Chains A and B, each alone.
Chain A
Amino acid sequence: MYVAVKGGERAIENAHRLLAHARRGDRNVPEVTLGQISEQLGLAVDRVMSEGSLYDRELAALAIKQARGDMIEAIFLVRAFRATLPRFGASEPVDTGAMRVERRVSSTFKDIPGGQILGPTFDYTHRLLDPQLAEGFVPEEPATAEVATTATPRVTDILGRDGLIEPSPQAAPDAPVGDLTREPLNFPADRDLRLQNLARGDEGFLLAMGYSTQRGYGRNHPFAGEIRFGEVDVEFFAEDVGFAVPLGSIELTECQMVNQFKGSATEAPCFTRGYGLAFGQSERKTMSMALVDRALRARELGEEVRAPAQDEEFVMSHSDNVQATGFVEHLKLPHYVDFQSELGLLRKLRQEFVEANDVEPLQEAAE
């Protein structure tokens, strides 16, 4: 009476065939295209590019389609592809100060050079379900105006000119760029690796960690110095020609938090920084990242490390949703060999309990 408990090759094939069927859904409903995903679910694509660490809208859209809209699964698909790509080198640092800004807000100053630019945002919308959107809705053309020619310097640069905020530490120009996908991570980790980890980190996890700092678990008195979203140019220094060549442009969101100050007998007090950066438009992600970045600088700034958000081993070891989901979901895999071993031990302990206490045998069905 031995029932097949082990899955066969055919069972897997059939399961995947069924998955493909379920992915397609009702075949009378038109199939969604990559263009539709990229254009109409753009923020989903942005998130998959950010946490997938690969700037490619088309591949991200494909991943979302293939993953049936499961974001972490889509991120995983992109990551696995990215891991196989050869590296030619690192680009020149992008200049977010020269960003072609589509949206830019500061909560620290009423007006700033270049102005506050709301851009496309959910902020101030009333969250009422809009039945018009259900089908065939054609929105108005956006309002237009002359392109402003004024520069939009970063708010933190304005504060920095007066020494009111700590200078942003600059790496030596020829120092290698840390990359935790190419080198194993060691603790304590430097800020470049911490920021890379946070940039790849799960938005929900970072949101919760950032939120916890606001509720007193590692409080650091943040102000949203500036959040900007727009396009920047990417350049690559080509050894052969001896100068930087443009590779193209990418969309980025940057958040600079201005936090409680530090200072000492020998050093004038100044604000401190928390930094967030993500592909595409991802304000929740970059703001959370900036809060957590600042919290993780506790050690460097001589603060007591007490809260989870300040603990780099805790944050960095658990921020990655591809790692987390893999390990949580691996509990679905068979564990009967080790379970059997535990079962044997437990039975032995129960047997000894019965003998030692001289009680009736504990209930277990006949074998």
Chain B
Amino acid sequence: MNAPAYNFAYLDEQTKRMIRRAILKAIAIPGYQVPFASREMPMPYGWGTGGVQVTAAILGPDDKLKVIDQGSDDTTNAISIRKFFAKTAGVATTTATEDATVIQTRHRIPETTLGAGQVLVYQVPIPEPLRYLEPRETETRRMHALAEYGLMHVKLYEDIARFGHIATAYAYPVKVNARYVMDPSPTPKFDNPKMDNCAALQLFGAGREKRIYAIPPYTQVVSLDFEDHPFEPYRYNAPCALCGADNSYLDEIVTDDKGGRMFVCSDTDFCEGRQADGHHGSLSAAPYKEKAQQQETSNG
């Protein structure tokens, strides 16, 4: 039998070179979706294969990797991807945002401000912001080429006419570097302002749809809106029940079947850091909460 043998970070070097070329092109044209020859990865499409390929292509032996899903380091898919790289690349992993050189994420941007030298890799399900308005790739590529974004503005306007608000709560479209309209992946719109003028490099990988795009450091990212209906980030109006933060995005946790619920930070590293610094919310830390295991060690 042909016993499988795998390269550093799983992908072979030719594939990594191909992905790096796509990444460089993406950085050169902020917000533009670069087609790339996405590979079949050992995890399913729709579960982060684009992000995983980007991470595999940029990871070096000295990197320190953090993986989050829904803001948390200990959600199942984040654990699975972190273990994948710990196993195939042997890189050190961490849950601390400020210690990580590469952060792969699904659906959130960490609360802690990212710094120069850090790379945020987004997992993207549908990279095309115009897809739900126009299903054809041939059409949407033409619309991007001509910067013909009227359809998107009409959609946002129709939301206002129907609901009184722009009814897009996540994957809220942005314009990058005053040129391309871009899908920020399904992050809540609360996170949109963090993309603007960010010191870190932001890379977006869509494996099934075979697209890579990027926001270089310190690039202007504007959420689409209207003068009389300005963009406003949504946040549930409560402090975190665990750490008391009043500026973080919150998960709603249903605690019983009688309407009981609590709100806690979705960014677990941020929340735990604040608790360690002595901040407390209305409830003490969870007694049954499973601690993310010792992730600081390498070769996990």
A residues with CB within 8 A of B: 1-12, 56, 58-59, 62, 76, 79-84, 86, 180-188, 313, 317, 322-323, 325-330, 333-338, 340-345, 348-349, 352, 364-367
Inter-chain CB contacts under 8 Å: number: 193
**Majority SS of interface residues in chain B?**
loop
In the bound complex, CA of A82 to CA of B169 (Å):
39
B residues near A185, Cβ cutoff 8 Å: 35, 210
- Expressed in whole angstroms, the minimum distance between the Cβ of B71 and any Cβ of chain A is 6
Tell me if B169 and A342 are in contact (CB < 8 A): yes
Report 10 cross-chain contacts, Cβ distance below 8 Å, ordered by A residue.
A3-B286, A12-B76, A83-B41, A187-B137, A328-B46, A335-B186, A337-B108, A340-B266, A349-B164, A367-B259
Tell me if A337 and B71 are in contact (CB < 8 A): yes
Contact pattern, B 80-93, Cβ under 8 Å of A = 1, otherwise 0: 10010000000000
In the bound complex, CA of A5 to CA of B266 (Å):
12
B188 at the interface (CB under 8 A from A): yes
Q: A345 contacts which of B14, B38, B167 (Cβ < 8 Å)?
A: B167
Q: A323 contacts which of B11, B37, B45, B170 (Cβ < 8 Å)?
A: B45
Indicate whether A326 sits within 8 Å of B253 (C-beta atoms), given known contacts A337-B107, A340-B188. Answer: no
B101 at the interface (CB under 8 A from A): no
For chain B, the count of residues having a C-beta within 8 Å of the partner chain is 82
A residues near B214, Cβ cutoff 8 Å: none
A residues near B4, Cβ cutoff 8 Å: 81, 84
B158 at the interface (CB under 8 A from A): no
* Of B113-121, B193-201, B216-224, B288-296, the one with at least 4 CB within 8 A of chain A: B288-296
Tell me if B289 and A4 are in contact (CB < 8 A): yes
- Expressed in whole angstroms, the minimum distance between the Cβ of B95 and any Cβ of chain A is 12
In the bound complex, CA of A329 to CA of B190 (Å):
27
In the bound complex, CA of A186 to CA of B71 (Å):
34
Tell me if B42 and A80 are in contact (CB < 8 A): yes
Tell me if B46 and A184 are in contact (CB < 8 A): no
B153 at the interface (CB under 8 A from A): no
In the bound complex, CA of A186 to CA of B138 (Å):
8
* Of B57-65, B143-151, B173-181, B244-252, the one with at least 4 CB within 8 A of chain A: B244-252
**Majority SS of interface residues in chain A?**
helix
Tell me if A365 and B258 are in contact (CB < 8 A): yes
Indicate whether A327 sits within 8 Å of B208 (C-beta atoms), given known contacts A6-B290, A59-B1. Answer: yes
In the bound complex, CA of A280 to CA of B23 (Å):
39
Tell me if A340 and B79 are in contact (CB < 8 A): no
In the bound complex, CA of A329 to CA of B258 (Å):
31
Looking at B75, B186, B264, B266, the one whose CB has the most chain A CB atoms below 10 A away is B75
A residues near B266, Cβ cutoff 8 Å: 336-337, 340
- CB nearest to B252 among chain A residues: A340
Looking at B45, B171, B283, the one whose CB has the most chain A CB atoms below 10 A away is B45
In the bound complex, CA of A361 to CA of B57 (Å):
53
B residues near A8, Cβ cutoff 8 Å: 74, 79, 290, 293
Contact pattern, B 261-300, Cβ under 8 Å of A = 1, otherwise 0: 1101010100000000000000100111110010000000
- CB nearest to B268 among chain A residues: A6
B residues near A313, Cβ cutoff 8 Å: 135-138
